[in-house]
Structure 1
Amino acid sequence: MADAAARPAGALPLAALMASLVSQNLGAAVAKSLFPVVGVEGMTALRVGLSALLLLAFWRPWRMPVARRDVANVVVYGAMLGGMNLCIYHAFGRIPIGIATAIETTGPLVVVLAASRRALDVAWVVLALAGLALLLPLTASQPLDPVGLLFAFGAAASWALYIVFGKRVSGLASGQAVSLGMLVAALFAVPIGIAHAGAAMRVPTTLLAGLGVALLSSAVPYSLEMAALRRMPRHVFGILVSATPAVGAACGAVVLGERLTAWQWLAIACIIGASAGGAATARRATVDVAGV
């Protein structure tokens, strides 16, 4: 009887995490469908700006003072969050979502493996590099847009720095770091979006769609991920999150009609394998590698 009760309990965090991955990547696909309306910059501004309002209203970070030593770290953390969103949306606009997401996940992989000194981790790096090599224009049978690839690598670098500086502000009160960080990201992204999209961002239907993207890509995944993390080991969480590129590719296929070649699927599988292997074999995590 105890085992029967434990199975449903163990299934709940798994279901929450999978729902989080689907929600986040579905939000990415919906956002990409809106690029022709408001552009990449406008869509980034809507997602980040509306997410900031939702998080500020929920967490009310002004209730607790921020120490002077934490201010600079919060600013960098928020700037990396804004840069990551802007880069990945530019990548989405030029290459399939699954491929862009696969490249982006190499950022957390580098951070996790950088904290380890074991020979086995070299194998995960080689596997990730093999996957990336299959995506490069020089080796791919159907070359991808090189600018899109550069933006995806920019998103990976931003995610890695986001993790590093996120760890530095993790001691702040619950929700304070992410809400203030998103506010900084909004101050960075919204003016750029307004400059590029202008009045198109104020159309009610566009605002409503932007709110849907903010909920799907930020508010809902954050809540589900926190629920999952409370009930499963961190390394298991990391292994499951490594499936993000595959979920992204599936959402891109269903919502946008994106189709990948066999070589591109192989590349994604290599990167997923490297991420899952790194999460499974890394020593006790010293950073949080959850996505945004």
Structure 2
Amino acid sequence: MTTVGHRIPPWSVPMFFIVGAVSQYVGAAVGVFLFETANPAAVAWLRAAAAAVALIVWRRPWRRTWTRRSLAAAAAFGVVTVGMNVAFFEAIARIPLGTAVAIEFLGPVAVATLGSRRPRDLLAALLVAAGIALLTGVHTGIDLAGVGFALIAAALWAGYILLGKRVADAGSGLDSLAVGMAAAAVLLAPALLTGQLIEDASVFADSRVWLLGVAVGVLSTAVPYALDQLVLTAIGRARFALLLALLPVTAAFVGAVMLGQRPTVAETAGIALVVAALAISVRGDTVRPPEN
């Protein structure tokens, strides 16, 4: 059976990341309002629940035949994805956003380096690491708990890439994403919502909280993660991890256009390094069959 990913022209792969990144950062901007009323774990649950509903309505995964193994893989994918979001939200509640992003990117960079068989991919990974460091900056004297959560997010991001590749190769990436997010929202609800219910349960009676949660879930999860699955069916894990470097590049562009945050010389140099890494990685390539 031909999958959706096989119909993606090679030249268009980075465009999927750009569209997904723009959606993700617009959703993050909406999420700022939620952080004023709900704790990071509750926001992460709202994001997961809203994304699950949107994906299930779209994909209707019950039409597919599921085995215990495929359901378990989908649930694991969803739990890792939501866990990654929770860890990142907890990190940015304690340490600067740039520092958290820099630490979190250790995950995909590690996947790119360890999963590569080509010297130029190793060079590209080094350029990505240097570019991310320049883009986000590194601070000292920060909250160790925040650093710990960022490291957990990095590890879970690596797991997201590996598990996402596996379900994408099975031809059920989008359906698995829908089932996985729903399973994670149910399984993790007690752990993620208990704190908010104890602190202030009234926030869940506010319709604005649910509306913003839907917006964050659709924009920050359903759209970008669905695009991830389309691309993961067409390219290997190492190239996918490197292409994730388009996220901070797009964030810098969105920040400059929407928020007037002009990049510094160091940030501009970081963007240039990331673009160079992408050029090295994809030069002369076509979309390859999925790696085993």
Q: Provide the alpha-carbon RMSD of the alignment.
A: 4.0
Calculate percent identity across the aligned residue pairs. Answer: 34
Counterpart residue type for residue 204 of structure 2? M
Q: CA deviation at 1:116?
A: 1.9
Question: CA distance change for structure 1 residues 186 and 269 in 2, over 3 Å: closer, same or farther?
Answer: farther
> Residue 217 of structure 2 corresponds to which residue in structure 1?
214
Q: Is the 8 A contact 1:131 1:266 kept in 2?
A: yes
Q: Is residue 29 of structure 1 aligned with residue 18 of structure 2?
A: no
Q: Is the 8 A contact 1:86 1:189 kept in 2?
A: no
**Secondary structure in 2 matching 1:159:** helix
Would you say how many aligned residue pairs link Structure 1 and Structure 2?
A: 273
Rounded to whole Å, the distance in 1 between the matches of 2:48 and 2:42 is 10
Q: CA deviation at 1:268?
A: 6.8
Q: Is the 8 A contact 1:102 1:245 kept in 2?
A: no
Q: Is the 8 A contact 1:113 1:282 kept in 2?
A: no
Q: Is residue 179 of structure 1 aligned with residue 146 of structure 2?
A: no
> Residue 45 of structure 1 corresponds to which residue in structure 2?
45
Question: CA distance change for structure 1 residues 262 and 43 in 2, over 3 Å: closer, same or farther?
Answer: farther
> Residue 242 of structure 1 corresponds to which residue in structure 2?
245
Residues 1-292 of structure 1: pairs in structure 2 closer than 5 A? 17-130=17-130, 135-138=137-140, 144-170=142-168, 171-173=170-172, 175-198=174-197, 199=201, 200-222=203-225, 229=231, 234=235, 241-249=244-252, 251=254, 274=277, 277-278=280-281, 284=288, 286=290
Q: Is the 8 A contact 1:130 1:270 kept in 2?
A: yes
Counterpart residue type for residue 247 of structure 1? T
Counterpart residue type for residue 63 of structure 1? R
Which shifted more, 268-277 or 83-92?
268-277
**Secondary structure in 1 matching 2:38:** helix
Rounded to whole Å, the distance in 2 between the matches of 1:43 and 1:21 is 19
Rounded to whole Å, the distance in 1 between the matches of 2:103 and 2:18 is 20
Q: Is the 8 A contact 1:44 1:85 kept in 2?
A: yes
Counterpart residue type for residue 55 of structure 1? L
Q: CA deviation at 1:272?
A: 6.5
Render the CA deviation track for 1:45-85: whole Å, top value 9, x for unaligned.
Answer: 10001111111222222222322333432232222111111
**Secondary structure in 2 matching 1:38:** coil
TM normalised by structure 1 equals 0.72
TM normalised by structure 2 equals 0.72
Rounded to whole Å, the distance in 2 between the matches of 1:287 and 1:33 is 41
> Residue 4 of structure 1 corresponds to which residue in structure 2?
none
Q: Gaps spanning 5+ residues in structure 1: where?
A: 1-8
Rounded to whole Å, the distance in 1 between the matches of 2:30 and 2:49 is 17
Rounded to whole Å, the distance in 1 between the matches of 2:114 and 2:289 is 11
Rounded to whole Å, the distance in 2 between the matches of 1:74 and 1:202 is 31
Rounded to whole Å, the distance in 2 between the matches of 1:279 and 1:98 is 27
Which shifted more, 41-50 or 185-194?
185-194
Question: CA distance change for structure 1 residues 73 and 20 in 2, over 3 Å: closer, same or farther?
Answer: closer
Q: Gaps spanning 5+ residues in structure 2: where?
A: 1-8
Render the CA deviation track for 1:173-221: whole Å, top value 9, x for unaligned.
Answer: 4632111111222124432332122221341111111111112112333
